[in-house]
């Protein structure tokens, strides 16, 4: 990657541009170069001209043979926030060198040495720096366009700025300008992809960003898939018109890489995944993985391969894009990656589960897959990551629980009815207890009169997936002990888990599929009451311990029917005067 040249007196420093919030940032990229910096003087080519101020200094210096002493030029005063109105005026009213010089000063105000200026420049309401910078993106001159890309990239880093840039008044100009540079295949295309990727870390923005579909003023709106100038079609064109293995470090290579990083974030939404599923993008990212010569163990964070596998994982969760991936035979491409056992192996394992890979495709009888995904679920609930692999926030709970459910379904489907169930390696008490925990936490959050709560309130999809896991793993969960025996603990566990599942089925908003799974599982658990069920007992005990730590009510899912007291007159609860302090006798009319 060629760096943008600066004056020798200016200090160079590097900072990763791909979001600080992205927990998978790595110090090196797939091509061995340092990652693209936080718009800190990174570009495919040096500036063609020096800023006007530098040229004026050179003109003012007399020839060395006529002046015995050459006075040093007066240092240029560092830009201040107070200079912004004048700089914006020069940017918009002047052209060429003067406009580029003003844009450079705006960039310097938000470079890596002036991070503290980034939020005030966008969010203070004193200036509109976004619209003029977006207008600079349309310039034919590379200098102003390049500097505007650098500035917008830096300004897109703070969380506060993302909402303004992606959803605020200037969002149409900002997203439109960035999209236009990518569409025209300018040298700054990869910087624009990075800027859009930075903005897409704000999840509220991802639908708006992908819906960008520009039309002429006064024209009727055009759906993104019907508009060749929409962002999704521009990204599709970038990926389809680029060789699967462009020259390392080339503008094409960087553009495709960061475009896949942007798509990775945008694919987290089901609405967006529907659009992606109707394009060639799923096929392109699968081809990126198929064409690589580097083994997965050598893939670095934010590499083309890393991004592409993330895109496959995110798209595989949603129905329309999932079918597209199945059509392009994504499973056969990513299946070998499962044996890696690291982050890439985890991603490939979950993607294969989503794509209905058969149980025998998972290495070592599915044990590594079961362990890694159940560990991921636990880490998400406990709000922590895994050293050297992922940080908290990289994966969503509904993704992990869905992967575990689909893996459980694959194991159950492969059962022949003879010998031990394939689900045994998945039905470890800690994983079963976690599914009970996720479901009951949602129930407690939904029941108005319930006391207590959880530090992690799951979403409805996660709870539905957890119930699906319990249903699929029942052959192993309800396995009897050896030798068979009666157990009061198992009887209590069956009663409480059954009651919790029935309560879940009655919650408003539970899907029909979720209700069916809960009712079916509850019925089978009720039938199993009485005999000792060791896995269920231990799982229930772990669940109880969690609820005690969280201060949750321990009688929430116990049956309230304690029986009816009677005396010689009949059932006491039948008489309204029972338990009253009134001296009057009961009268039945």
pLDDT score for 525: 95
Distance of CA 159 to the CA centre of its chain: 15
Residue 364, sorted as left (phi over 0), alpha (psi -120 to 50) or beta, turns out to be left
Indicate the residue among 212, 230, 264 that finishes a domain. 212
Whether the Cβ atoms of residue 341 and residue 368 lie closer than 8 Å to each other: yes
Sign of CA dihedral 474, 480, 486, 488: negative
Alpha carbon of 118 to those of 21, 32, 145: distances in Å? Answer: 16, 30, 19
Q: Is residue 482 a part of any domain in this protein? A: yes
pLDDT score for 20: 41
Q: d(Cα 262, Cα 194) in Å, to the nearest integer?
A: 7
Which secondary structure element, helix H or strand E, spans residue 567, and what is its range? strand 566-567
- DSSP one-letter string for 492-519: HHHHHHHHHHHHHHTSTT--HHHHHHHH
Indicate the residue among 177, 212, 247 that finishes a domain. 212
| Per-residue DSSP letter, 221 | P
Whether the Cβ atoms of residue 195 and residue 257 lie closer than 8 Å to each other: no
Contacting residues for 334 by C-beta, under 8 A, at least 6 apart:
286, 289, 309, 312, 348, 351, 352
- Helix 397-413 to helix 343-354 angle (10° resolution) is 60
pLDDT score for 240: 93
Q: What is the pLDDT along the chain (589 residues), one digit of tens a residue?
A: 434 444 444 444 433 444 444 433 333 333 333 334 444 433 333 333 444 443 444 444 444 444 444 444 445 678 899 999 999 999 999 888 899 999 999 999 999 999 999 999 999 999 999 999 999 998 876 789 999 999 999 999 999 999 999 999 999 999 999 999 999 988 899 999 999 999 999 999 999 999 999 999 889 999 999 999 999 999 999 999 875 555 554 456 799 999 999 999 999 999 999 999 999 999 999 999 999 999 999 999 999 999 999 999 999 999 999 999 999 999 999 999 999 889 999 999 999 999 999 999 999 999 999 999 999 999 999 999 999 899 999 999 999 999 999 999 999 999 887 767 899 999 999 999 999 999 999 998 887 655 555 556 678 999 999 999 999 999 999 998 888 888 899 999 999 999 999 999 999 889 999 999 999 999 999 999 888 999 999 999 999 999 999 888 888 887 655 455 566 666 655 444 444 444 454 444 4
CA atoms within 13 A of residue 339's CA, in its CB half-sphere: 9
* CATH, residue 145: 1.25.10
Q: Is residue 243 a part of any domain in this protein? A: no
Q: d(Cα 283, Cα 327) in Å, to the nearest integer?
A: 9
Q: d(Cα 466, Cα 437) in Å, to the nearest integer?
A: 9
Minimal CA–CA distance to 434: which of 282, 318, 305, 547?
547
Range of the domain at 163: 1-64+72-212
How many separate domains does the chain show? 2
Tokens for 585?
């006798």
The pTM for the full model equals: 0.81
Q: Is residue 448 a part of any domain in this protein? A: yes
Q: Is residue 76 a part of any domain in this protein? A: yes
Q: d(Cα 385, Cα 443) in Å, to the nearest integer?
A: 26
- The three-point CA angle 238-33-199 to 5° equals 50
Q: Is residue 269 a part of any domain in this protein? A: no
Indicate the residue among 182, 212, 242 that finishes a domain. 212
Q: Is residue 50 a part of any domain in this protein? A: yes
Q: Is residue 182 a part of any domain in this protein? A: yes
Q: Is residue 145 a part of any domain in this protein? A: yes
C-beta pairs of 506-510 under 8 Å, 24+ apart in sequence: 507/442, 507/443, 507/446, 507/447, 508/446, 509/446, 509/460, 510/460, 510/464
Find residue 71's DSSP bridge partners.
none
């Amino acid at each position: 990657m060629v760096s943008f040249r600066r004056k020798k007196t200016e200090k160079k420093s590097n900072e990763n541009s791909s979001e600080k919030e992205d927990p998978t940032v790595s110090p090196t990229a797939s091509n061995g170069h340092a990652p693209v910096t936080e718009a800190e003087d990174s570009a495919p080519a040096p500036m063609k001209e020096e800023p006007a101020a530098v040229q004026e200094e050179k003109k003012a210096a007399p020839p060395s043979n006529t002046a015995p002493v050459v006075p040093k030029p007066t240092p240029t005063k560092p830009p201040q926030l107070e200079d912004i109105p004048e700089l914006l005026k020069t940017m918009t009213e002047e052209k060429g060198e003067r406009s580029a010089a003003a844009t450079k000063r705006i960039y310097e105000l938000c470079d890596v040495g002036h991070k503290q200026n980034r939020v005030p420049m966008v969010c203070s309401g004193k200036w509109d720096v976004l619209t003029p910078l977006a207008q600079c993106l349309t310039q034919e001159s590379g200098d102003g366009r390049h500097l505007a890309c650098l500035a917008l990239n830096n300004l897109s880093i703070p969380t506060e700025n993302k909402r303004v840039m992606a959803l605020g008044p200037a969002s149409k100009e900002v997203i439109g300008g960035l999209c236009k540079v990518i569409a025209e295949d300018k040298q700054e295309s990869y910087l624009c992809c990075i800027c859009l990727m930075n903005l897409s870390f704000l999840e509220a923005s991802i639908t708006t960003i992908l819906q960008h579909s520009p039309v002429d003023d006064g024209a009727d709106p055009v759906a993104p898939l019907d508009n060749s100038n929409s962002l999704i079609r521009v990204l599709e064109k970038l990926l389809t018109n680029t060789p699967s293995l462009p020259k390392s470090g080339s503008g094409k290579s960087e553009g495709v890489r960061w475009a896949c990083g942007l798509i990775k974030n945008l694919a987290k939404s089901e609405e967006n995944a529907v659009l992606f599923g109707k394009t060639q993008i799923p096929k392109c990212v699968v081809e990126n993985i198929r064409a690589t010569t580097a083994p997965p163990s050598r893939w670095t964070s934010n590499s083309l391969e890393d991004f592409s596998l993330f895109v496959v994982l995110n798209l595989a969760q949603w129905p329309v894009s999932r079918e597209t991936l199945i059509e392009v035979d994504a499973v056969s491409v990513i299946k070998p990656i499962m044996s890696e056992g690291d982050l890439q192996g985890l991603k490939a394992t979950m993607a294969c589960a989503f794509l209905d890979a058969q149980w025998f495709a998972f290495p070592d009888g599915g044990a590594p897959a079961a362990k890694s995904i159940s560990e991921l679920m636990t880490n998400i609930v406990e709000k922590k990551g895994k050293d050297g692999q992922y940080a908290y926030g990289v994966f969503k709970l509904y993704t992990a629980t869905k992967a575990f459910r689909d893996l459980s379904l694959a194991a159950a489907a492969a059962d022949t009815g003879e010998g031990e169930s394939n689900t045994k390696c998945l039905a470890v008490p800690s994983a079963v207890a976690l599914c009970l925990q996720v479901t009951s936490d949602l129930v407690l959050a939904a029941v108005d009169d319930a006391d207590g709560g959880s530090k992690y309130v799951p979403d409805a999809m996660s709870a539905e997936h957890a119930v699906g896991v319990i249903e699929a793993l029942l052959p192993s969960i309800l396995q009897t002990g050896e030798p068979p025996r009666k157990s009061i603990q198992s009887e209590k566990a069956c009663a409480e888990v059954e009651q919790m599942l029935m309560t879940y089925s009655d919650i408003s908003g539970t899907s029909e599929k979720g209700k069916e799974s809960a009712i079916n599982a509850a019925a089978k658990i009720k039938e199993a009451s009485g005999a000792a069920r060791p896995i269920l007992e231990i799982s229930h005990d772990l669940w109880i311990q969690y609820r005690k730590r969280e201060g949750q009510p321990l009688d929430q899912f116990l049956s309230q029917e304690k029986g009816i007291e009677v005396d010689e007159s009949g059932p006491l609860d039948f008489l309204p005067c029972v338990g009253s302090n009134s001296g009057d006798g009961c009268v039945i009319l």
